[in-house]
Amino acid sequence: MQFQLTDEQEMIRKMVRDFAKNEVEPTAAERDEEERFDREIFDQMAELGLTGIPWPEEYGGIGADYLSYVIAVEELSRVCGSTGVTLSAHISLAGWPLYTFGTEEQKQTYLTPLAQGTKMGAYGLTEPGSGSDAASMKTTAKKDGDDYILDGSKIYITNGGEADIYIVFAMTAPEEKHKGATAFIVEKGMPGFSMGKKEKKLGIRSSPTLEIIFDGVRVPKENRLGEEGEGFKIAMMTLDGGRNGIAAQAVGIAQGALDAAADYAKERKQFGKPIGSQQGVAFKLADMATKIEASRLLTYQAAWLESEGKPYGKASAMSKLMAGDSAMEVTTEAVQVFGGYGYTKDYPVERYLRDAKITQIYEGTNEIQRLVISKMLMQES
């Protein structure tokens, strides 16, 4: 295994770090406060090629690898967890299934504008009654001639409302349980497709999270992704990579919190010396840095495995489990280092703490990650 990033990966890290510092960080607190998504930031990411990092140039991407992509999500999340997940959902949850299961025509029509960033992507699996038990979804897709008619709703859709292209899962044969699920490409503006409630959230408040509603939406068969009955497999395989994107988001959030806490610990003096030179705080910082590094290594390893075409599902679940739990621990300690100041909005650490929590929940709770990892262990042994 190589521990050194390539020149291209280093270049992408530097480019995204500069962009995040100059264009994303200055408005992060304000966008969080106002629960405001800024499409201009997405457009700027498109100009830099970030919206298509892992996709080949023939589909509008920049042809880099998955490790470059997770580095980009990490660097964005280091200043703004909302911006990190915007890119992660766009690439992992919408671009990936199109790239992997799409026909040539579907890739040209849908992946290319996603990669170029002229359109934004989202993914719809969760329903009010179907969260961890994803196979229990109730949204239906009934065949009508050459079309499918979609009825139902999906909740907690990251990029909801802003996205133009939605990868959604619906039952074409409900009696067959998970084997009766099928994936579809649904476009904003299709008659009967509407946006529902926008969630008011604890964290990642400048990333829109919406309900999406299907009321007799007529989807042509050309927009079916994969075969009938392949939907559950497509949903699960998509999440395998998506979870690594969330791990990268968690690593970035935790690193941002550590950066702030370490800076503060150098400046803040109590009992006549900087608090960072007092063991209670110094040991906290050491533990925080160690947890972040362990999380980062798992995250990069999973991305490297995917880039190499090797199995990465277990590694990806491990990276999200480790990085999500670590991000909660690290951001909680960052607030502690700041003491009373950390509990106020005068410093960014309370935002990092609020943003970290979701990384233990979405794209499969960390309890589900343990289930995925243990099932794979059993299959291996």
Binding-residue pattern over the window 123 to 162 for ligand CAA, x denoting contact by CB under 6 A: x-xx-----xxxx--------------------xxx----
CB atoms within 10 A of CB 356: 30
Identify the bridge partners of residue 185 per DSSP, sorted by sequence position: 167
Task: Give yes or no for residue 96 binding ligand CAA (CB under 6 A).
Answer: no
Q: Taking the complex as a whole, how short is the minimal distance between the CB of residue 239 and ligand CAA, in angstroms?
A: 5
Rank residues 9 and 77 by Cβ distance to ligand CAA and give the closer one. 77
Rank residues 327 and 372 by Cβ distance to ligand CAA and give the closer one. 372
The structure tokens 């490409």 sit at: 185
Binding-residue pattern over the window 194 to 233 for ligand CAA, x denoting contact by CB under 6 A: --------------------------------------xx
Nearest residue to ligand CAA on Cβ basis? 364
Q: Which of 204, 364, 366, 373 binds ligand CAA (CB under 6 A)?
A: 364
Q: Which of 225, 247, 363, 373 binds ligand CAA (CB under 6 A)?
A: 363
Rank residues 132 and 290 by Cβ distance to ligand CAA and give the closer one. 132
Q: Which of 89, 155, 181, 349 binds ligand CAA (CB under 6 A)?
A: 89
Separation between Cα atoms, residue 381 and residue 378, nearest integer Å: 5
Q: Which of 5, 29, 236, 282 binds ligand CAA (CB under 6 A)?
A: 236
Q: Which of 5, 195, 262, 371 binds ligand CAA (CB under 6 A)?
A: 371
Q: Which of 178, 188, 218, 370 binds ligand CAA (CB under 6 A)?
A: 178
- Catalytic residue, from 25, 293, 363, 367: name it: 363
Sign of torsion over alpha carbons 112, 116, 117, 118: negative
- The dihedrals phi and psi of 20, each to the nearest 5 degrees, come to -60, -45
The piece of 76-84, 118-126, 200-208, 291-299 that touches ligand CAA (CB under 6 A) is 118-126
What token pair was written down for 1?
Answer: 């295994």
Buried b (16+ CB within 10 A) or exposed e, 281-290: beebbeebee
The structure tokens 């966008």 sit at: 31
Q: Taking the complex as a whole, how short is the minimal distance between the CB of residue 243 and ligand CAA, in angstroms?
A: 8
Q: Taking the complex as a whole, how short is the minimal distance between the CB of residue 167 and ligand CAA, in angstroms?
A: 10
Task: Give yes or no for residue 374 binding ligand CAA (CB under 6 A).
Answer: no
Rank residues 179 and 268 by Cβ distance to ligand CAA and give the closer one. 179
Strands 121-124 and 224-225 turn out to be unpaired
230 given a catalytic annotation: no
Task: Give yes or no for residue 362 binding ligand CAA (CB under 6 A).
Answer: yes
Rank residues 13 and 179 by Cβ distance to ligand CAA and give the closer one. 179
Active site residues: 363
Per CB under 6 A, residues contacting ligand CAA are 89, 93, 123, 125-126, 132-135, 156-158, 178-179, 232-233, 236-237, 239-240, 313, 362-364, 368, 371-372
